[in-house]
């Protein structure tokens, strides 16, 4: 049975095929009908899966009423491409009916001058709400929150609260609790909808509200917010300022976006790329981003080559060394990457600190030593049979033990050291580790060979 991701992939490719055929044939009415028969998330996925020219053509056929919802589903980089082509009035119209946090996300893709124009074109109430969110950094709880909340006072009965709710056309999305505040709008607790619907309507909110829950400070980092949601299985959570006054709430859909962005960041950073890298971005946009890290990698490769050059005389005497050198460096690189990945993941999850780093380091060193002994024995036997040289077998075995032990140790230490220097370990860790394993691998292998064959 095919997985859901495979089915989604096939469905997307089939839809794209039909749309491209219709575009090529010039039947734009058919394309418009097909495109706008999909959900905003499906339209966004199709746009994201299209090259630039087709993407622009499809966007022009999206119904104006659906543009805002579709934009919310797109990555920031693609959002910015479409927003840059709109004037302030068009962006303001687009924002009508959107949640405050989603409007703030859209505006942050625009230059400051255009943001001011868009805010000026909005209604006074909407402008105040958006400005409140924009006053916080986008990577904080304040930048994530939506100001659309339903609050109640503790002295009211549940019957009064129910009658109050019926006056609303609909509740905000992902509403699982009502937020209890006092006259000064200070957060007091939560009233779960489950209790509201099942308890005696004559009792007060104070009697059934949940008070043992902490609100999220608006300045808390978004990745810490995600950890709280994961740890407590929240659907939504209130956001307060330093004085405890309610500012808004965060819902699970916003947290899922944070988790996805963090995962994209970790994956793309391993290759030195931006997490917002568009799969179909133009050549001139993609080339500079990749060129920077290719240049850094070239410098590290030159460093490793310089180490090899030191032992050129030894390599000339024992040609077999040139054949075996890549094996030592490659084994160290793989072993180091395994440790590096585990440690960076642990750091991202907040599991690694000073208290347990020493244990982790000793564990990785032990794993590196055991694997080094195992594969040194295997490679030593192969080398002995291959070149009929017991000295060469001892050299490569010893070099592999040294390099695998170094790789495991540095794979654990480098991310911690790099983060202490305020550099992203996911971005710089793999480059630094590759340099270390290459240099140590070549140095140990060729150094031992020079000693044995001098």
Comparison of pLDDT for 9 and 33, the residue scoring more:
33
CA distance 227 to 192: 22
Distances (CA, A) of 62 to 88, 107, 247, 401, 443: 19, 20, 34, 60, 60
CA distance 282 to 439: 36
pLDDT tens-digit profile of 171-181? 888 889 999 99
pTM score of the predicted model: 0.62
Average pLDDT over residues 368-396: 93
User: Structural domain of residue 103, as residue ranges?
Assistant: 4-144
The fraction of the chain above a pLDDT of 70, given in percent, is: 88
Does 99 score more than 70 pLDDT? yes
242 and 184 in a common domain: yes
pLDDT tens-digit profile of 62-81? 888 888 888 888 877 788 88
180 and 158 in a common domain: yes
415 and 345 in a common domain: yes
The fraction of the chain above a pLDDT of 90, given in percent, is: 35
186 exposure class (CB count in 10 Å sphere: 0-12, 13-18, 19+): middle
Question: What's the pLDDT score for residue 103?
Answer: 81
**In degrees, to the nearest 5, what angle opens at C-alpha 63 toward C-alphas 62 and 68?**
85
Domain count, the chain: 3
Residues facing residue 152 across a β-bridge: 180
Residues facing residue 146 across a β-bridge: 249
Longest dimension (CA), the chain: 95
Comparison of pLDDT for 50 and 1, the residue scoring more:
50
Mean pLDDT over the full length of the chain: 84
End residue of a domain, out of 236, 269, 302 = 269
Question: What's the pLDDT score for residue 174?
Answer: 85
- Measured over the CA atoms of residue 209, residue 193, residue 248 and residue 217, the dihedral's sign is positive
Which residues, at least 6 apart from 411, have a Cβ–Cβ distance to it below 8 Å?
Answer: 335, 336, 337, 338, 339, 340, 343, 364, 433
Average pLDDT over residues 57-66: 84
End residue of a domain, out of 95, 127, 144 = 144
287 and 395 in a common domain: yes
176 and 257 in a common domain: yes
Question: What's the pLDDT score for residue 1?
Answer: 42
285 secondary structure, DSSP code: H
290 and 240 in a common domain: no
* Most confident of the ranges 16-30, 183-197, 245-259: 183-197
114 and 169 in a common domain: no
Average pLDDT over residues 45-51: 81
CA distance 261 to 268: 10
pLDDT tens-digit profile of 285-295? 667 766 776 67
- Measured over the CA atoms of residue 63, residue 68, residue 69 and residue 73, the dihedral's sign is positive
pLDDT tens-digit profile of 357-374? 889 899 999 999 999 999
């Amino acid at each position: 049975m095919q997985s859901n991701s495979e089915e989604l992939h096939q469905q997307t490719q089939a839809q794209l095929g039909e749309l491209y055929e219709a575009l090529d044939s010039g039947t734009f009415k058919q394309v418009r009908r097909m495109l706008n028969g999909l959900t905003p998330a499906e339209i966004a996925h199709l746009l994201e899966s299209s090259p630039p020219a087709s993407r622009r053509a499809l966007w022009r056929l999206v119904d104006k009423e659906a543009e805002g919802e579709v934009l919310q589903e797109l990555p920031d980089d693609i959002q910015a491409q479409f927003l840059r082509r709109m004037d302030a009035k068009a962006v303001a119209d687009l924002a009508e009916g959107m949640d405050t946090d989603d409007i703030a996300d859209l505006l942050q893709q625009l230059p400051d001058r255009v943001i001011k124009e868009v805010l000026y074109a909005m209604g006074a109430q909407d402008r105040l709400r958006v400005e409140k969110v924009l006053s916080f950094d986008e990577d904080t709880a304040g930048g994530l929150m939506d100001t659309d909340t339903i609050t109640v006072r503790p002295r009211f009965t549940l019957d009064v609260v129910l009658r109050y709710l019926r006056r609303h056309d609909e509740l905000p999305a992902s509403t699982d609790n009502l937020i209890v505040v006092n006259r000064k709008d200070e957060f007091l607790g939560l009233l779960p909808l489950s209790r509201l619907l099942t308890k005696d309507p004559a009792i007060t909110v104070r009697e059934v509200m949940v008070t043992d829950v902490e609100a999220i400070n608006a300045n808390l980092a978004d990745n810490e917010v995600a950890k709280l949601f994961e740890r407590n299985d929240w659907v939504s959570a209130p956001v307060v300022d330093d004085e405890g006054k309610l500012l808004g709430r965060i819902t699970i859909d916003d947290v899922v976006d944070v988790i996805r962005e963090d995962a994209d960041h970790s994956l793309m950073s391993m290759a030195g790329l931006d997490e917002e890298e568009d799969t179909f971005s133009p050549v001139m946009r993609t080339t500079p981003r990749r060129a920077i890290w290719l240049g850094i990698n070239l410098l590290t490769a030159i460093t490793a080559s310089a180490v090899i050059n030191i032992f050129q005389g030894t390599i000339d005497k024992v040609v077999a060394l040139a054949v075996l050198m890549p094996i030592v460096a490659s084994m160290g690189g793989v072993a180091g990457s395994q440790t590096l990945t585990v440690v960076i993941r642990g750091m991202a999850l907040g599991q690694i600190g000073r208290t347990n780093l020493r244990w982790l380091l000793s564990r990785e060193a032990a794993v590196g030593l055991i694997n080094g002994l195992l594969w040194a024995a295997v490679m030593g036997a192969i080398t002995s049979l291959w070149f009929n040289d017991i000295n060469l077998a001892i050299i490569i075995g010893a070099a592999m033990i040294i390099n695998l032990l170094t790789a495991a140790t540095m794979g654990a230490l480098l991310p911690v050291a790099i983060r202490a220097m305020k550099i992203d370990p996911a971005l710089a860790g793999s480059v630094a580790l590759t340099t270390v394993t290459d240099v140590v691998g070549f140095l140990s292998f060729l150094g031992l060979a020079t000693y044995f064959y001098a």
